Amino acid sequence: MPDPPSRPTLAVIAAEAGVSPATVSKVLNGRTDVAAATRERVEALLRTHNYPGPGGVARRARRSGLIDLVLAGLDSPWAVEILRGVEAECAEHGTGVVVSLVRDDDARPPSWQNLPALHHSDGVILVTSRMTHRQRAQLEKAGVGLVLVDPVNLPDTDIASVGATNWAGGLAATEHLIGLGHRRIGMIGGPADMLCTQARVDGYRTALERAGIEVDKDLVRYGDFHHRGGFARTRELLELPDPPTAIFAGSDEQAMGAYQAARLAGLRIPEDLSVVGFDDLPTCEWLSPPLTTVRQPLEEMGRVAARTLLQLLDGRPPLTPRVELATDLRVRGSTAPPPRTTPLPTPPPRTEER
């Protein structure tokens, strides 16, 4: 059964009403500075197109005081940091959090979009998952609010989402390695279809191009953001005829896998191989050596997602549907200039026998 057609944008409704998108937004947000006739015309079109009410969600008459946090698993410290932020923000506002673990490849019922009805929750924070038009329509029909954290695919432009500056982070990590003198830099992304992976790889490519370094496709690999993927992809990179002298692992867990692969290959970090991660998990400082990594504010991302959802449920739409929190590079002990090639000793001059 095909997905239902996507809902028209504010621009389409504005064109039909003969007004600007800003006027449609004012009507949606309950602003009083709109002429009565114009308001009635816009509201009629919104009803015709089944557009939800203020804040992008059909308001419920009664609130349960619960929200669903849907994660792909709690086997990663990354997810725990997001959970920490969501729980802290909700606790400050007297809202309970129901944690649900649903994998994209999990075909067992119930699917995640049915969870709010089961838990009688008011909204959903969906972390690193896909969003289809059908799922969106189901939540809207039930009057359930929605905020995405690091969505896998590009969401509709009016869905609230929270992420980090992944492109800038990939750029900073690679520029750091280039600044140390590295020219053969491996890149291990997460799953290739994820938006955050694509942004980090694009940042890596941009840094190389700006430095006049040709992008070698053999140095770009894709893992799973976990230890196993980092370990396997690093072994592949180190087996190349001309292996990299540095690896941007794309996540801290993949960097930990790179550490293990380097050890098995008899390489020292950073003397023989530099490694950069992404996330700045609490364990980074306790690795040996401590990991240079790109910090994304995971706990704050959880807080902002929860804050945005609670605002939506109160009928207060965010100023912008997409929020990207800044990343920054944390330089520690896992990066250093590339190893110098030791020249072969010069043989002593031959003397003729007399």
Q: What is the pLDDT of residues 69-102, one digit of tens each?
A: 988 777 778 889 999 999 999 999 889 998 887 6
Residue 104 is predicted with a pLDDT of 54
Using H for helix, E for strand and C for coil, what is the string for 169-201? HHHHHHHHHHHCCCCCEEEEECCCCCHHHHHHH
pTM for this prediction: 0.75
Residue-level pLDDT at 26: 66
Among candidate residues 113, 108, 200, 110, the one with its CA nearest the CA of residue 150? 200
CB 99 within 8 A of CB 121: no
Q: Which residues pair with 276 in a beta bridge?
A: 248, 292
Residue 68 pLDDT: 87
Burial letters for 295-307: b for 16+ Cβ neighbours within 10 Å, e otherwise?
bbbbbbbbbbbbb
Q: What is the mean pLDDT of residues 88-117?
A: 69
Confidence of residue 118 (pLDDT cuts 50, 70, 90): low
Assess whether pLDDT exceeds 50 at residue 109.
no
**Model pLDDT, residue 214:** 95
Residue 57 has pLDDT above 50, yes or no: no
H helices of 180-283, where?
A: 195-210, 227-238, 252-264
Report the pLDDT averaged over residues 132-149. 76
| Distance of alpha carbon 213 from alpha carbon 140, whole angstroms | 48
Q: What is the C-alpha to C-alpha distance for residues 22 and 26, in angstroms, rounded to an integer?
A: 6
Burial of 227 (0-12, 13-18, 19+ CB in 10 A): buried
d(CA 172, CA 157): 27
* CA count, 13 A, side-chain hemisphere, 69: 26
- In this prediction, residue 221 carries a pLDDT of 98
Strand order in the sheet with 96-101: 96-101, 66-71, 123-127, 145-149, 160-164, 322-325
- Residue 62 in this model has a pLDDT that exceeds 60: no
State residue 341's pLDDT score.
57
Q: For residue 344, what pLDDT is reported?
A: 38
Element (H, E) at 81: helix 77-92
List pLDDT tens digits, range 227-286: 999 999 999 999 999 999 999 999 999 999 999 999 999 999 999 999 999 999 999 999
In the prediction, which pLDDT does 178 show?
98
- pLDDT attached to residue 281: 94
Q: How far apart are CA 235 and CA 324, in angstroms?
A: 33
Question: What pLDDT, on the 0 to 100 scale, is given for residue 117?
Answer: 53
* pLDDT tens profile 288-340: 999 999 999 999 999 999 999 998 888 787 778 889 999 999 999 999 999 97
Q: How confident is the model at residue 5 (pLDDT cuts 50, 70, 90)?
A: very low
Q: Rounded CA gap, 344 and 238, in Å? A: 23
Are 312 and 55 contacting, i.e. CB atoms less than 8 angstroms apart? Answer: yes
pLDDT of amino acid 146 = 87
9 vs 271: which has the higher pLDDT: 271
Return the pLDDT at 122: 83
- The per-residue pLDDT for 176 is 98
